[in-house]
Amino acid sequence: MLGQHRRRADVGTPRHARGTRTRHRAWERRPVVRHAGALVVIASGWSYQGTPVVGQINELDRVLDPWVCRSTDGGRTWSREGTVEIPSGAPVLIPFGDIERCDDGLLGVSFYSDAEDGLHNTAWFLRSQDDGRTWGEAVMIGADNYNETDLLYLGASRWFAAARTRRPGRIDLFVSEDGGASWQCHGPLTSPGQHPGHLMRLDDGRILLVYGLRTQGLRGVGARFSADEGETWGRPVVLVDLEDATDVGYPASVQSPDGTIVTAYYCNGIPTHRRYHMGVVRWCADD
147-193 pLDDT, tens per residue? 999 999 999 999 999 999 999 999 999 999 999 999 999 999 999 99
213-248 pLDDT, tens per residue? 999 889 999 999 999 999 999 999 999 999 889 999
CA 230 and chain centroid, separation: 18
Number of structural domains the chain divides into: 1
- The pLDDT, as a whole number, for residue 19 is 60
* CA distance linking residue 149 with residue 157, whole number of Å: 19
State the CATH number of the domain containing residue 196: 2.120.10.10
Q: What percentage of the chain exceeds 70 in pLDDT? A: 83
- The pLDDT, as a whole number, for residue 81 is 93
Count H helices and E strands in the chain, helices first: 0, 23
- The pLDDT, as a whole number, for residue 286 is 81
Regions of the chain with pLDDT less than 50:
1-15, 23-27
Angle at 259 between CA 256 and CA 262, to 5 degrees: 45
Cα–Cα separations (whole angstroms), residue 211 to 44, 68, 92: 21, 26, 25
In this structure, the strands spanning 237-241 and 3-4 are: parallel
Going through 81-133 in order, the beta strands assigned E by DSSP cover 83-84, 93-101, 107-114, 121-128
Q: Which long-range contacts (CB under 8 A, 24 or more apart) does 56-62 make?
A: 57/247, 60/26, 60/27
Phi, psi at residue 73, to the nearest 5°?
-125, 35
* CA distance linking residue 287 with residue 279, whole number of Å: 25
Q: Which domain holds residue 140?
A: 3-283
In this structure, the strands spanning 107-114 and 93-101 are: antiparallel
* CA distance linking residue 249 with residue 180, whole number of Å: 27
- The pLDDT, as a whole number, for residue 47 is 79
- The pLDDT, as a whole number, for residue 287 is 57
